[in-house]
Amino acid sequence: MYSRGESMNRENNYEICYENMCKEFVKYNPEEVAKRSRAYYDPEKKQFTLTCFNKEYLISYPQGSIVLKNNKDKDPSVDINTMLMLKMLMLSYLYRATNSSLTNKWVPLRELEGVGHAYQGFADRGIDKLVEFFGHKGELFLEAGLKLGGKKFDVGDVGIKINILPNVPMAFGLWTADEEFPADATILYDCSAVKELHVEDLAGLCFEAADEIIRAAKSIHN
């Protein structure tokens, strides 16, 4: 747990990073950004529409301010720090996306080009979250994935594939616990992911995505 002071410091750091990223937006051609990222750009409104975790966001150009398109999609359980991280993820994606073709070769984070084991802790953190929450709840895991716009995927006892961003699909597999074996999970990326997001963003996505799936699961029974 973070103390109030630590939480405020993290929030301030995220806000500074987000503000600095917004200042960079003017350097990018919006039509080119839209083409590379597969976001929709409205030149009259000077606004992008980008889907992230199955929710549409409006992103102003060149300010970089980001709001949900539909207020009904607002989740009160998402704190300020998480929202700032998502905003930075979306801007980072718009800046870096290449609209490269999917390879259909799925690998864990550590096997992506240029990653190695340095970021494995992020992947392990996401996997641990999924195992802890869904260890005996395979059907709920699938329901949550489908709610985020996912589709069934052939990995584990229950697998789902979710387009986190237009060019960034992720696959999640769950092996439910039984009398012989404890629960386990895996998080996979298409090998093209490194062309669409920075390595640090891909690492952070492992636990951010796990949190989103868990939030979706909790909302199903509310």
Residue with the bigger pLDDT between 118 and 94: it is 94
Quote the CA–CA distance of 193 and 170 in Å, as a whole number. Answer: 9
Buried-state track 49-86, b at ≥16 Cβ within 10 A, e below 16: ebbbbbbebbbebeebebeeeeeeeeeeeeeebbbbbb
203, 119 in Cβ contact below 8 A? Answer: yes
Angle of the 138-147 helix axis to the 120-134 helix axis, nearest 10: 120
Q: What is the pLDDT of residues 130-152, one digit of tens each?
A: 999 999 999 999 999 999 999 99
Instruction: Find the mean pLDDT for residues 186-192.
Output: 97
pLDDT tens readout for residues 52-111: 999 999 999 999 999 999 987 888 888 888 999 999 999 999 999 999 999 999 999 999
Most distant CA pair in the chain: distance in Å?
A: 61
